[in-house]
Amino acid sequence: MKWFLSLIAILIASSFSAAQQKTVTPKPAPAKPSADSQVYRNSVFGFRYRIPVGWVERTKDMQEGDDPSKGQVLLAIFERPPEAAGDTVNSAVVIAAESTTSYPGWKKAEDYLGPLTELSTSKGFKSAGDPSVVTINGHELVRADFSRQLSDTLTMNQSTLVFVQKGQIVSLTFIAGADEEINELIERLAFAASAKKY
């Protein structure tokens, strides 16, 4: 879980540090994507994610070497480059997978919520309710929500969905400035119709 937790810590720092700035960097006009260029597809786990137009991908930047046994960042996207200043939360989505063999005895998605909660609260987040099970296209995932007040007018919200499949822990972490934005980001996730419950 150390690899996964360090990844979440980097994601939080990337979204938080940019939000602390007071200047706004204008977004460049996005190139017109082809119909398929804005969709991340993962055939191993049977899901796809529709990337918001104009977002920047930083998957390679967030990967740690070439050792998949430590875990693998599958997708890392941000509303604006993590280093860009702004006066809003830098919304982000990071999808990662890590082998369950790294954590003997942990078999279910719920097993990973304790360390996730510990990390999030150590970064100043508060739990936003009890974890829950969500179903997307017949596929069950465990969801944990957190929030952190950055200023009188700015709150960072984090939602992490977790499932275990094919000997891998798959985590999908969403960061945004409002619950509605988090839900809109989650709605971009879809599983194949043949998905099973995990």
What is 139-193 written as a DSSP string?
EEEEEEEEEEE-SSS-EEEEEEEEEEETTEEEEEEEEESSHHHHHHHHTTEEE-T
Q: Which CATH class is domain 2-20+48-174+185-191?
A: alpha beta
pLDDT in tens, 44-96: 999 999 999 999 999 988 887 656 666 899 999 999 998 887 888 999 999 99
Mean pLDDT along residues 156-181: 94
pLDDT-based confidence at residue 156 (cuts at 50, 70, 90): very high
Q: Which pLDDT value is given to residue 100?
A: 86
The pLDDT of residue 147 is 93
Tokens representing 148 are 């952190």
pTM of the model: 0.81
Q: Is 191 helix (H, G, I), strand (E, B) or coil?
A: strand
> Per-domain residue ranges for the chain?
2-20+48-174+185-191
For the chain, the 3-state helix, strand and coil shares in percent, each to the nearest 5, are: 25, 35, 40
Structure tokens given for 83: 């280093």
Q: Name beta bridge partners: 148.
A: 156
